[in-house]
Structure 1
C-alpha cells in the first residue's frame, strides 16, 4: 500500500513539474507547441503582451507548487494536518479533472457545431487528444494520491 501511495504522489509531482516547465518555456519566449492551444491564448502568446506573460509565469509557479505540495504527502503529520492535506489534495484533483472534462465537453460541442468557439482545427485536435486529457490525468494523480494518503495516514 505504501509503495502504491508513493507511485501516485511521484507521478503527480512529475506531471506538475513537466506542466510547469512548459509554462516557463512559453513565458521565457519559447513558441514550440503554443499553436496547439489555439484561440486567444495563441494570439496573446504571439503578441507577447506583458500582462499575459506574467500570468504564464505565475501559472508555472502554481503548477510547480502543486507538485511540491504533493511531496508533503510522503511524510506523516498530525491527524489534523493529515486531514487538511487529504481534503486539499482531493479537492485539487477533483478541480483539475472537472476543468479538463468541462473543456473537453466544450470542445466536443464546438466540433459538432453546438457551441461557437474561436479555435482552429489544429488546436481543436490537440486540445481534445492531448491538453484536456492531460488536465484530467493530473487530476486523477491528485485524487489517487489523496486516497492512498488517507488509507495510510488517516485510517491507521
Structure 2
C-alpha cells in the first residue's frame, strides 16, 4: 500500500507546484502591465488594451487587484501540497482552493468553449473582431486559466482525499 501512495503523492506535488508556477507567471504578467509595461498589450485587444495604454487609473487598479488575486490563487497551489499549508484550517483552505478552482475552470473553460465555437464558425464573429487578440486569447490567455484551474483542482482533490483519510 505504501508503494501506491508514493506515485500518488508525487502527482499531487506536481499538480500543486505546476498550479503555483502557472499562477505566479500569470500574476507577473499582470504586475508588468500594471507597472506600465506595454509589451503584449496588443494581445488583449479592444477596450482592455485601450484603457491599459491610456493608463486609465481604474484599469490600472483592476490590474493590480487581478495580480494580487492571481498570486493568492497561485499560493493556494502550494498550500494544498506543502506541510505549512496544514497550519491553515482544513475547511478554510479547501473552501478557498475549491473556490479558486471553480473560478479558474469556469472562466477559462467558458471562454475557450465560446472562442472555439467562433473559430469553428458555429458562432459568427463580430465584424470588428481583433483577430490577433482573439487568437492570443483562444490559444494562450484563456486556456492558461483553464489548465491552471484543472491543476489546482487536482491538487486540492488530492489534499481533500489525504486529509479525509487521516
* TM class, shorter-length: 0.7 to 0.9
Please show how residues 116-131 of structure 1 align to structure 2 within 5 Å: 116=126, 119-131=129-141
Q: What's the offset of the Cα at 1:153? A: 1.6
2:147 corresponds to which residue? 137
Partner of 1:86: 94
Q: How many residues were matched structurally?
A: 155
Distance 2:127 2:100 in 1: 27
**Other-structure match for 2:109:** 101
- C-alpha distance in 2, partners of 1:130/1:34? 14
Greater Cα offset, 114-123 or 52-61: 114-123
Change (3 A) 1:91 1:117: farther
- Aligned runs of 1:1-156 on 2, under 5 Å? 1-73=8-80, 74-75=82-83, 77=86, 81-111=89-119, 112=121, 113-114=123-124, 116=126, 119-156=129-166
Deviation at 1:117, TM superposition (A): 8.2
Runs of 4+ in structure 1 over 3 Å off: 108-119
Secondary structure in 1 matching 2:86: coil
Task: Quote the offset at 1:155 in angstroms.
Answer: 2.1
Contact 1:83 1:154 in 2 (8 A): no
| Equivalent-residue separation in structure 1 for 2:74 and 2:106 (angstroms) | 19
Gaps of at least 5 residues in structure 1 are none
Instruction: Tell me how far apart the structure 2 counterparts of residues 17 and 35 of structure 1 sit (CA, whole Å).
Output: 21
- Distance (Å, rounded) in 2 between the aligned partners of 1:126 and 1:77: 38
**TM-score scaled by structure 1?**
0.87
Maintained 8 Å contact 1:39/1:118: no
1:109, distance to aligned residue in structure 2 (A): 4.5
Does the 8 Å contact 1:110/1:117 carry over to 2?
no
Q: Give the C-alpha shift of residue 107 in structure 1.
A: 2.6
**What is the rounded CA distance, in whole Å, between the counterparts of 2:59 and 2:116 in structure 1?**
27
Gaps of 5+ in 2: 1-7
1:32 Cα offset (Å):
1.1
User: What's the TM-score once normalised by structure 2's chain length?
Assistant: 0.82
Structure 1 vs Structure 2 CA RMSD: 2.2
